[in-house]
């Protein structure tokens, strides 16, 4: 039986941008890239999705990685996680946002989604790599309500206690040059994930191909 890999995106993102490249990490596996709008519709109960529950490996990026951590109690035994630029608290002191202003922006997004997307684009425009414009095009196709759901989830949730990583199989990859999720925001998870492997990519920023390879 083929392995099944599930890919969960970051806020306002589409990992399908790199589908051909990312799938080479396991060429013989079946790969499913979950659309952002679908993912945010079940952030609180990710494992209610049969595809996720039956996957051999789940790759989460940014918000997708954070949502996996919040659903860790439902992780099937033996399922491998690869977490790209996860965070403990998106509204921590190292962040560009406080919980209050991120909640405000979430509400504002329903009537001014371009302003929200442009604010996040500013965090990405100096990232290493050449995918900023592709990201922007994808983000502008996402419905405002889906953007709001992602922002509110990040504003209202944080990791404050140990995450069950018993049995291993959890790898955390983060870029030294990541401007969207600075390394300190990822390393804040280390105390909560004693069984996980943390690996810094010295020449990577926030984009998945640079984090994985």
- One digit per residue, pLDDT tens: the chain, 213 residues? 789 999 999 999 999 999 999 999 999 999 999 999 999 999 999 999 999 999 999 999 999 999 999 999 999 999 999 999 999 999 999 998 999 999 999 999 999 999 999 999 998 988 878 899 999 999 999 999 999 999 999 999 999 999 988 778 999 999 999 999 999 999 999 999 988 999 999 999 999 999 999
pLDDT, residue 126, reads: 85
For the CA atoms of 200, 201, 205, 210, the dihedral, rounded to the nearest 10 degrees, stands at -140
pLDDT, residue 68, reads: 98
DSSP 172-195: EEEETT-SSS-HHHHHTTGGG-TT
pLDDT, residue 11, reads: 98
Instruction: Find the distance separating the first CA and the last CA of the chain, reported in whole Å.
Output: 26
Q: Which of 103, 90, 81, 99 is closest to 158 using CA atoms?
A: 90
pLDDT, residue 127, reads: 87
CA distance 70 to 97: 20
Sheet containing 57-61: give its strands across: 30-33, 4-8, 57-61, 80-84, 170-175, 197-201
Q: Are 183 and 174 in contact (CB under 8 A)?
A: yes
Angle between helices 113-124 and 132-139 in degrees, nearest 10? 160
CA distance 40 to 67: 9
Angle between helices 144-156 and 63-70 in degrees, nearest 10? 50
Q: What domains can you pick out in the chain, each with its CATH number?
A: 4-212 (3.40.50.1820)
pLDDT, residue 114, reads: 95
């Amino acid at each position: 039986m083929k392995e099944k890999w599930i890919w969960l995106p970051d806020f306002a993102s589409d990992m399908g941008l790199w589908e051909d490249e990312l799938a080479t990490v396991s060429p013989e596996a079946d790969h499913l890239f979950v659309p952002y709008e679908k993912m945010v519709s079940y952030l609180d109960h990710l494992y209610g999705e049969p595809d996720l529950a039956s996957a051999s490996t789940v790759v989460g990026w940014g918000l997708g990685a954070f949502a996996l951590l919040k659903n860790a109690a439902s992780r099937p035994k033996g399922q491998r996680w690869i977490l790209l630029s996860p965070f403990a608290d998106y509204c921590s002191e190292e962040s560009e946002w406080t919980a209050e202003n991120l909640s405000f922006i979430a509400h504002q997004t329903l009537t001014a989604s371009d302003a929200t997307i442009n604010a996040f684009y500013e965090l990405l425009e100096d990232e290493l790599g050449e995918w900023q414009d592709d990201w922007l095009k994808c983000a502008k196709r996402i419905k405002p309500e889906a953007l709001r759901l992602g922002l509110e989830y990040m504003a209202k949730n944080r990791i404050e206690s140990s995450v069950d990583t018993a049995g291993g199989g959890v790898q955390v990859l983060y870029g030294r040059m990541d401007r969207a999720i600075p390394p300190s925001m990822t390393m804040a998870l280390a105390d909560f994930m004693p069984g996980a492997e943390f690996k810094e990519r010295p020449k990577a920023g926030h984009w998945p191909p640079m984090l994985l390879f």
